[in-house]
Amino acid sequence: MGGILNTIDVTEKKALGCGLVAIAGAVTHLLFFIRGEHDRQAFDWVKRAAYGTGALALVLLYATNYKVIQALVLMALFTPSYFAGLYTSIAVYRLFLHPLRSFPGPFWARLSNFYHSRSIQKSDNYLFMQKLHQKYGPIVRTGPGNLSVSDPNAIRVVLANESKCTKSPWYDKSLPLVNLHTVRDQKTHDNRRKVFSKAFSPSAMKDYDTRVVVHCEEFVRQMRRLAGQPFDASAWLKYFAFDVMGDLGLGKEFHMMTSEKNRWIPDLLETSMGTVGITTPIPWVAPILRKIPGAGKHAKAWLDFVGSQVQERVEKQVDRPDILSHLVAAYNESNKTKDDYQWLRGDTRLTIVGGSDTTAATLTFLFYHLAKDPSQVEKLRAELEPLLQGKSHLQQQDISKAKHLNGVIQEALRLHPAIPSGFPRTTPPEGVTISGTYVPGNTTVVLPVYTMHHDEVNYEKADEFVPERWYSRPEMIKNKDAFLTWNIGTNGCIGRALAVSEMRNIITHWVQNFVSVRFAPGEDGTQLVTRTKDHFTLGVTPLHLVFEKKQGSN
């Protein structure tokens, strides 16, 4: 009888202990985790959890009379009890008490951002977001503290210069690396942008334009060589874009269009971006992955490549100024601290990615539409030939006259924005109001660019390629503000003019030298449209085309 009572007593003590530990888990949530940002400290919390478990084991072993097996049993009970209390508190709060509880969205998204991440394992976030908005409306709860807003009235509230919203914790994913795009402090951003602006002055742009023409001429030479036979346009447009970026950005020649030696670089960039898209809803995972041996080997390899380019550029004098000339000059004028070097590395990475991958993606989709609708080629030819009159490229005074060319580029950018899922922002503590709907403070809000660009609320025949909407059919644009390819305001893409210049030049050179573009046998572009990856920027799939050159063209 005594043994039974002792067993009951021990069982009651264990139950009481588990209950107290579970309460401690709930208190941890209510007093700490429910407040502030913790993404950057994610790995520290993993360590603290491990240290706490170890400390509890030591207390049970040396501060009590428990034997090793008894201590292990209690550990096996107390540890899950703590996390049960913690996660139960989190679940109850997010489902019934959270300020976003009344917003529509998938049930599991209310509980955890892992639902969103799991739903985009194919790196198709932009398509997933579009489906959510089609089902739930203009404001969707995509995570416990996250909203996606496709209402165009949100643009000024969330992204404009006068907005009180700030960059979300997502932008800390690359720390300690920081650049113009990821820096969250607006004053620091604006000061850094002044450094970048020197690289895009009118005189610099004039020099860049002449250098872009040289690369366009090389692209034409290579395409003439391949004329009449299938080739992977997305790959060759990457080679072109990387050659331009190497010259204008880094002051070096990659020669990707003429040699296979450096063609591994775009492939490395693509693989390094593999987890960026699927971890977008859970940015706190990034610092943990970086600590796991082998987990981020591709990303590390890419950063090592960027670091090698920085070191090479710092040690080299160039004859013609490039974008990094101004960044290196700013670094040389600084105290050259570790933070200063991280800025240089970060902005170099931004220059490489922003100056190559995004431009190549847009050009790939542009040629897809030319192949799909041959009448666009004839319209371009009819417009450009009178303007060119034997010149290799458009003169500055003729650009405004090339309305269809500009429309074709603008329409490709609208239908296939290089950053399709938008720019995450955090609302101010007092919250914001969008079209009469109050959005609580400290909410992560994103405006899904692809969804908005394909919304009939903003564009008539929103899924169709109609370049004329940008010049002769303005009634097809219902909301002029709902074009977010470049972002807006002081956070807008600083290299926009250069990117558009590249596109104008490459299309102009192509029209002068080729009569048509068609899909290669077995190709219709479906894979490009449906399988292109969302790595925050677009990662295009292969697109096999055939160019036919003009008669008499060598």
Q: Could you write out the DSSP letters of every residue in 278-308?
A: TTTT-TTHHHHHTTSTTTTHHHHHHHHHHHH
Nearest to 520 by CA among 216, 228, 123: 228
Longest pairwise C-alpha distance within the chain:
108
pLDDT of residue 51: 80
Region of 192 on the Ramachandran plot (φ > 0 left; ψ -120 to 50 alpha; else beta): alpha
- Condensed to tens digits (0 to 9), the pLDDT of residues 91-134 reads 999 999 999 999 999 999 999 999 999 999 999 999 999 999 99
Does position 446 have pLDDT exceeding 50, yes or no? yes
CATH fold for domain 186-416+493-549 = Cytochrome p450 (1.10.630)
Residue 343 has pLDDT above 90, yes or no: yes
| C-alpha closest to that of 359 among 449, 251, 242 | 242
In terms of DSSP bridges, do strands 146-149 and 444-446 run parallel, antiparallel, or are they unpaired?
Answer: parallel
> Lowest mean pLDDT: which of 50-59, 200-209, 374-383?
50-59
The tally of CA atoms less than 13 A away on the side-chain side of residue 158 is 34
| pLDDT band at residue 5 using 50, 70 and 90 as cut-offs | very low
**Residue-averaged pLDDT of the chain:** 91
Give the single-character DSSP code of 477. B
Which tens digits make up the pLDDT trace of 447-501?
Answer: 999 999 999 999 999 999 999 999 999 999 999 999 999 999 899 999 999 999 9
Q: Looking at residue 52, what is its pLDDT?
A: 77
pLDDT value for 14? 74
pLDDT tens digits, 314-330: 888 888 899 999 999 99
Region 6-19: mean pLDDT is 66
Q: Which amino acid is at 231?
A: F
Where does the pLDDT of residue 26 fall: very low under 50, low under 70, confident under 90, or very high at 90 and above? confident
Average the pLDDT over 81-91 and give the result. Answer: 89
Q: State the Cα–Cα distance between residues 305 and 269, nearest whole angstrom.
A: 10
Q: What is the mean pLDDT of residues 22-39?
A: 84
Whole-prediction pTM: 0.92
* pLDDT of res. 263: 97
pLDDT in tens, 281-316: 999 888 888 878 877 788 889 999 999 999 998 888
CB atoms within 10 A of CB 494: 19
Burial of 379 (0-12, 13-18, 19+ CB in 10 A): middle
pLDDT of residue 136: 98
Taking each helix axis from N to C terminus, what angle separates 297-314 and 338-354, rounded to the nearest 10 degrees? 100
Domain ranges of the chain: 2-97, 186-416+493-549
Between residues 26 and 412, the one the model is more confident about: 412
Q: CB 433: neighbour CB atoms within 10 A?
A: 10
Closest CA to 106 of 118, 117, 115, 93: 115
